[in-house]
Amino acid sequence: MKKNYLITGGAGFIGSHLTKKLLDEGNKVTIVDDLSTGNMKNLEGYIDNEDLNMIIDTILNDKLMEKLIVESDEIFHLASSVGVELIMKQPVHTIENIFQGTAVVFKYASKYRKKVLLTSTSEVYGKSQDVPFKEDGDRVEGPTTINRWAYANAKALDEFLALAYYKTSKLPVVVVRLFNTVGPRQSGEYGMVIPKMISAGLNKKNIQVYGDGMQTRCFCHVKDVINALCKLMKTKESYGEVINVGSNSEISMLNLAELISSNLDNNSKISLVPYDEIYPNGGFEDMKRRVPSIDKIAKLINWKPSISLEEIVKDVIAYQKVIQNN
């Protein structure tokens, strides 16, 4: 049966891929996006689809959001500040945009009993060293003087709010913690490491690695992530749960730069850059490891990543080459 989905932040990187999948499956999709980090180019090929309703506005528009939520069947709430660099530069906007927007979404989702999937982030684990991170593990956050933790705590507050609605009124809510989703259409403008490194290499600039490059991350292709989100939305056992979505294949930033350089095949040079050169005013703190446990999602929907990191890198390189040539 055709459904009417509401996607907040649907013109963004992940949101646009989700929009494509839902439209391809024959559904109706309404997007609300203020284009602060989203881009209409992400929706090329779909913007004229009669089943797509694109609204350029903020989710802080209370009356608009009530109308859209009334008309929707289910809500994917993706709208958020994204990227470490944006968060460092705009801490006030980060806090207000994240939590106030989520409060509006859940106020009306609760009033009209609409199912909501909230995308959260691995940042909520903070400085925990209990790797791999499990959903019920303790969070270890840094001091309020470090801007980075504003984002982590705002997203954690989003989770608390979503789960509170589930606990008090059994509102169908799924909370998903994403770990470094990557793929075509992702911009390096806000600090996303793989597109940023690839863009530097393609433009014959040094591929920069911050610090000593020994910090590790795990990367998951957006196609795998979108499949997980859609399956979780349909799974009743996921309601009221917090669920990690990401790859558990770990790589250091230095090795990532070397992998990218080898796939570019243009003798790209790699340079190590101290953190204080990138963030001269301080307020930044990095984590050594960020690895999810994906046991919970495997049990819930029998999901695991299917696309390797090398395939991800090649996919993003191919996409950026097309963009450069257009």
Catalytic positions, written as ranges = 151
Residue tagged 């799974």 (tokens): 235
Return the axis-axis angle of helices 253-264 and 309-325, rounded to nearest 10°. Answer: 50
Please check whether residue 175 is in contact with residue 159, taking contact to mean a CB–CB distance below 8 angstroms.
Answer: yes
Q: Single out the residue of 36, 159, 156, 146 nearest to residue 91, CA to CA.
A: 146
DSSP designation for 73: S
Please check whether residue 37 is in contact with residue 86, taking contact to mean a CB–CB distance below 8 angstroms.
Answer: yes
CB contact burial 55-71 (16+ within 10 A = b; e otherwise): eeebbebeeebeebbee
CA distances (Å), origin 192, targets 121, 185, 186, 200: 14, 12, 8, 12
CA distances (Å), origin 215, targets 19, 181, 191, 249, 263: 33, 17, 15, 14, 21
Neighbours of 209 (CB within 10 A): 22
Cα angle 147-195-261, degrees, rounded to a multiple of 5: 120
Q: Single out the residue of 158, 257, 280, 163 nearest to residue 205, CA to CA.
A: 257
Give 221's strand partners.
182
